[in-house]
Amino acid sequence: MATMNDVARVAGVSTSTVSYVLSGKRSISPDTRSQVLAAIEKLGYSPHAGARALASNKSNVLGLVVPLPDDVNVSVVMQFVAAVVTTARTFEQDVLLLTQDEAGGIERVLSQSIVDGLVMMDIEAKDPRVPLLAKFRKPAVLIGVPDDAHGISCVDFDFSAASKVSVRHLVELGHTKIALIGSPKASLDRHATYADRVLKGFDEASAESGVEFASRACESTPEALLDTLKELLNGPSAATGLIVHNESLMPILRDTLAGLGLQVPQDVSVVAIAPTDVAMASTAPWTAVSIPAQDIGRAAVEMVMERMDSEKPAEIRLIVPSLVPRTSTARLA
C-alpha cells in the first residue's frame, strides 16, 4: 500500500509538500500540485483521514456543549442537536457532544485541540463558561445571548420579540387582561436567557399596551399547571388571554382548562411560544410563535465554519419571530 513518502518520492517533492496539497493549508504552485496529484493517481494512494487531520492540524470535529439541567425540555433540545449534527455533516464535520455543565469538559477539548470549533447551548445571562471559551480563541458560537458575550458570536431566536408579538395579537383581539405561564422557576433563577427574555418582552409589551397582566413560572407537572391556571384565570382579574412558554405543558393544557370549565377560545385565548411540532400536536393546533430550532442550529454551524478560515468579526444574529393565528385565539366577545 502506497504511503505519503512514496507519493513524495515519485513526485520529486518533500513529504510536507504532499501534505500541503492534500490539506490545502498552504498555497502550492499549479505545476507542483499537478505533479503530486499525478503521483497519487499513479500509486493509487488513499490518504488516511487521521493523517490528513494531523497534516492540516485539524480534527474535522465540532464540539457541541449541551448541558441538560432538570428544567429543560429534552425533546426540544434534541431538535437543536439534530440541526447542528445534520448541518455539520454538510461541512464534512463530526460532532462531539458534551453534556456536562461544568467548564472542565470545555477546557479539556479545547486545550487538547480535540475540536476545531465549538457551539454552546443553554446560555445563562452571566454564564461562567463564556469567558473561559473566549480565552482559547477557538471559533465558537453561542446559541443564546448572555449579558457579556466576551467577543464570541451569538445566534438565537428573539424571545423578547416573540412575547411582544404574542401580547399584541391578544390586544388586537380585544383582550385587556393577559397572563404568561413561563418556564420552570429553576430556569428563571439561573437566568437562562430564553426564560429571561420571554418575561422581559411580555412585561414591556403589556405595560406599553396598558393592559392588566400577570406572569407565573410553572413547573412541568399537571399539578403545577392546574394550580397556576386557578390563580391566573379566577377572580375579578382573571385573564382572558394566555401566553404559554413551557413546551411540556402544551399536551395537557386544553384538558386542564376543560377541567376548570373553560373552553378555548370561547373563555380563554391561548398563544404558544413553542416549536411548530409542539403547537401542531393537538386535535386543535395552537396559535403559535414557532421556535425555529432547525434554523438556529444550522446558523450556529455556518457561523462557526465561517470563522475557521477567516477573521470575520463577532456578531449577534437574532431570528425574527412570526405568529401564525389558529383557532386557539379569538376576538373577545
pLDDT tens track, the chain, 333 positions: 677 778 888 999 887 788 778 766 677 888 898 898 898 888 888 765 444 454 456 788 999 999 999 999 999 999 999 999 999 999 889 999 999 767 777 888 887 778 999 999 999 999 999 999 999 888 999 999 999 999 999 999 999 999 999 999 999 999 999 999 999 999 999 999 999 999 999 999 999 999 999 999 999 999 999 999 999 999 999 999 999 999 999 999 999 999 999 999 999 999 999 999 999 998 899 999 999 999 999 999 999 999 987 788 999 999 999 999 999 999 998
Residues facing residue 269 across a β-bridge: 241
Task: Provide the grid cell at 200.
Answer: 422581559
Alpha-carbon distance of 6 to 12, in angstroms, equals 10
Query: Can you list the alpha helix ranges (DSSP code H) found in 178-275?
Result: 185-189, 193-209, 222-233, 250-259
Q: Measured between alpha carbons, how far is residue 14 from residues 1, 22, 24, 31, 301 in Å?
A: 19, 13, 15, 14, 35
Note the pTM of the prediction, 2 decimals.
Answer: 0.82
Three-class SS of 195-211: HHHHHHHHHHHHHHHCC
Strand 269-274 with 287-290, pairing: parallel
CB contact at 8 A, 155 and 299: yes
Strand 323-324 with 287-290, pairing: antiparallel
